[in-house]
A and B are shown apart, each in its own frame.
Chain A
Amino acid sequence: MNLREFNRILRQTLFLPILLLLALAGFAAWQIMRSSASVRAIDRSDELSAQIVELEKLIIDQETGLRGFQLTGDPKMLAPYQAAIDPINHHFDNLHQLMAGRAKQTGRLAEVRDRYQIWLGLAEGVLNKDPATLNDPQLNQHGKQLMDNVRTALDDLLQAESRVRKRRSDATLILERHEFAALVLAALVVGVFLGLFTRSRLHRVSRAYDATLEELERQAEEIYERRQWLQTTLESIGDAVIACNNDGKIEFMNAVAQSLTGWTGQEVLGRPLAEVFHIVNEETREEVENPVEKVFRQQTVVGLANHTVLISRQGKEYVIDDSAAPIRAQDGDTRGVVLVFRDVTEARRTEAALIAGEKLAVAGRLAASIAHEIHNPLDSVANLHFLLASEADSEKRAEYIQLAQQELGRTMQISRTLLSLYREPKAPVPVDLEELADGVLLLLERRLIQQGIQVERDFSEPSLVEGFPAELRQVFTNIFVNALEAAGKGGRIRIRIEPVPAEELRGTGTMVEVTDSGPGISSQAGENLFQPFFTTKGENGTGLGLWVSNGIVQKHGGTIRIANSSNDADLKGACVRVYLPAHTLASTATRATAHVS
Chain B
Amino acid sequence: MGTVAASPLILCIDDEALGLQIRKAVLEQAGYRVLTALDGSAGLGLFFGQPVDGVILDYFMPGMDGGQVAEEMRRHRPEVPILLLSAYINLPSEVIQMVNFTVLKGEGPKELLDKVRQMLEMLHGGGGAR
Q: Which positions 349-373 of chain A face chain B at CB distance < 8 Å?
A: 367-368, 371-372
Chain B residues with CB below 8 A from A386, complex form: 26, 29, 108-110
The answer to whether A375 and B22 touch across the interface, beta carbons within 8 angstroms, is: no
The answer to whether A378 and B105 touch across the interface, beta carbons within 8 angstroms, is: yes
Could you tell me the distance between the alpha carbons of A452 and B64 in the complex, rounded to whole angstroms? 10
The answer to whether A449 and B109 touch across the interface, beta carbons within 8 angstroms, is: no
A64 at the interface (CB under 8 A from B): no
Q: Which positions 53-71 of chain B face chain A at CB distance < 8 Å?
A: 60-63, 65
The answer to whether B87 and A450 touch across the interface, beta carbons within 8 angstroms, is: no
A344 at the interface (CB under 8 A from B): no
A114 at the interface (CB under 8 A from B): no
- What per-residue 1/0 map shows which CB atoms of B33-73 lie under 8 Å from chain A? 00000000000000000000000000011110100000000
The answer to whether A368 and B88 touch across the interface, beta carbons within 8 angstroms, is: yes
Could you tell me the distance between the alpha carbons of A367 and B15 in the complex, rounded to whole angstroms? 19
Chain A residues with CB below 8 A from B96, complex form: none
A383 at the interface (CB under 8 A from B): yes
The answer to whether B62 and A450 touch across the interface, beta carbons within 8 angstroms, is: yes
The answer to whether A375 and B87 touch across the interface, beta carbons within 8 angstroms, is: yes
The answer to whether A387 and B22 touch across the interface, beta carbons within 8 angstroms, is: yes
The answer to whether A384 and B22 touch across the interface, beta carbons within 8 angstroms, is: yes
The answer to whether B25 and A372 touch across the interface, beta carbons within 8 angstroms, is: no
- Tell me the minimal C-beta distance from A121 to chain B in angstroms: 181
Instruction: Give the secondary structure class of B's interface.
Output: loop
B79 at the interface (CB under 8 A from A): no
A446 at the interface (CB under 8 A from B): yes
A451 at the interface (CB under 8 A from B): yes
B23 at the interface (CB under 8 A from A): yes
The answer to whether A451 and B62 touch across the interface, beta carbons within 8 angstroms, is: yes
Known contacts being A378-B106, A382-B109, is A390 close to B62, with CB within 8 Å? no
Using CB atoms, name the residue of chain A closest to B60: A450
Chain A residues with CB below 8 A from B104, complex form: 375
A407 at the interface (CB under 8 A from B): yes
The answer to whether A371 and B63 touch across the interface, beta carbons within 8 angstroms, is: no
Chain A residues with CB below 8 A from B61, complex form: 450
A93 at the interface (CB under 8 A from B): no
- One of A371, A403, A406 near B87 (C-beta < 8 A): A371
Instruction: Give the secondary structure class of A's interface.
Output: helix
Known contacts being A368-B60, A378-B106, A452-B62, is A383 close to B88, with CB within 8 Å? no
The answer to whether A376 and B19 touch across the interface, beta carbons within 8 angstroms, is: yes
The answer to whether A382 and B106 touch across the interface, beta carbons within 8 angstroms, is: yes
- Tell me the minimal C-beta distance from B108 to chain A in angstroms: 5
Chain B residues with CB below 8 A from A407, complex form: 18
The answer to whether B22 and A403 touch across the interface, beta carbons within 8 angstroms, is: yes
The answer to whether A383 and B22 touch across the interface, beta carbons within 8 angstroms, is: yes
Known contacts being A371-B88, A386-B26, A390-B29, is A379 close to B60, with CB within 8 Å? no
Chain A residues with CB below 8 A from B29, complex form: 386-387, 390
Could you tell me the distance between the alpha carbons of A407 and B19 in the complex, rounded to whole angstroms? 9
The answer to whether A452 and B18 touch across the interface, beta carbons within 8 angstroms, is: no
Chain A residues with CB below 8 A from B16, complex form: 376, 380
Chain B residues with CB below 8 A from A382, complex form: 106, 108-109
Using CB atoms, name the residue of chain A closest to B103: A379
Most buried by B among A378, A379, A403, A449: A379
Using CB atoms, name the residue of chain B closest to A375: B87
Known contacts being A380-B22, A450-B60, is A372 close to B106, with CB within 8 Å? no
Q: Which positions 93-117 of chain B face chain A at CB distance < 8 Å?
A: 104-106, 108-110
Chain B residues with CB below 8 A from A390, complex form: 29
Most buried by B among A375, A385, A452: A375
- One of A403, A446, A452 near B60 (C-beta < 8 A): A446
B89 at the interface (CB under 8 A from A): yes
- Tell me the minimal C-beta distance from A443 to chain B in angstroms: 14
The answer to whether B22 and A372 touch across the interface, beta carbons within 8 angstroms, is: no
- Tell me the minimal C-beta distance from B36 to chain A in angstroms: 14
Using CB atoms, name the residue of chain A closest to B63: A452
Could you tell me the distance between the alpha carbons of A407 and B20 in the complex, rounded to whole angstroms? 13
Could you tell me the distance between the alpha carbons of A384 and B25 in the complex, rounded to whole angstroms? 9
- Tell me the minimal C-beta distance from B19 to chain A in angstroms: 5
Chain A residues with CB below 8 A from B87, complex form: 371-372, 374-376, 379
Chain A residues with CB below 8 A from B23, complex form: 379-380, 383
- Tell me the minimal C-beta distance from B105 to chain A in angstroms: 4
Chain B residues with CB below 8 A from A378, complex form: 105-106
Using CB atoms, name the residue of chain B closest to A373: B87
Using CB atoms, name the residue of chain A closest to B23: A383
Could you tell me the distance between the alpha carbons of A276 and B89 in the complex, rounded to whole angstroms? 59
Q: With A376-B19, A380-B16, A450-B15 given, name 8 new contacts (CB 8 A).
A: A379-B106, A382-B108, A383-B19, A383-B26, A390-B29, A403-B18, A449-B15, A450-B62
A-B pairs, 5 with minimum CB distance: A375-B87, A386-B109, A379-B105, A375-B105, A375-B106
Enumerate 27 A-B pairs (CB-CB under 8 Å) in ascending A order: A371-B88, A372-B60, A372-B87, A372-B105, A374-B106, A375-B104, A376-B16, A376-B19, A376-B87, A378-B105, A378-B106, A379-B23, A379-B105, A382-B108, A383-B19, A383-B25, A383-B26, A383-B109, A384-B22, A386-B108, A386-B110, A387-B26, A387-B29, A403-B18, A406-B18, A449-B62, A450-B62
